[in-house]
């Protein structure tokens, strides 16, 4: 299934930048960055729950936020891209 992960990490505190880097790093293990704080990930249910758990442990829920959009298996018709920044189709193998 395709999920979109968005996050907003408060940088006003000393550890904000560290949390931001950790959130981004975890997200890159599951998908590709399509905007500064937005990732598209094709995962199964187990990996979705794993990603959600890992990110929840990193953020500070009093200052930060996470959003998960589950687009399902037929996500291609639900995504429209206009403008620059070409992206890889995460549903296809990287190496052929």
Reading the block at residue 21, the tokens are 């880097």
77: CB partners within 8 A, 6+ apart: none
Tens of pLDDT, residue by residue over 5-28, are 999 999 987 899 999 999 999 999
Reading the block at residue 95, the tokens are 């190496």
In the predicted model, residues of the chain with pLDDT beneath 50 are 94-96
Question: What pLDDT, on the 0 to 100 scale, is given for residue 72?
Answer: 79
CATH of segment(s) 2-75: 3.30.70.240
Q: Which residues pair with 72 in a beta bridge?
A: 2
Question: What pLDDT, on the 0 to 100 scale, is given for residue 96?
Answer: 45
Domain boundaries defined on the chain: 2-75
3-state SS string for 14-71: CCHHHHHHHHHHHHHCCEEEEECCEEEEECCHHHHHHHHHHHHHHCCCCCCEEEEEEE
């Amino acid at each position: 299934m395709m999920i979109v992960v968005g996050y907003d990490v408060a940088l006003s505190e000393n550890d904000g930048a560290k949390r931001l880097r950790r959130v981004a790093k975890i997200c890159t293990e599951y998908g590709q960055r399509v905007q500064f704080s937005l990732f598209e990930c094709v995962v199964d249910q187990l990996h979705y729950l794993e990603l959600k758990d890992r990110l929840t442990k990193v953020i500070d829920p009093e200052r930060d936020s996470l959003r998960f959009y589950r687009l399902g298996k037929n996500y291609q018709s639900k995504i429209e891209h206009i403008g620059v920044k070409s992206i890889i189709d995460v549903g296809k193998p990287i190496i052929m």
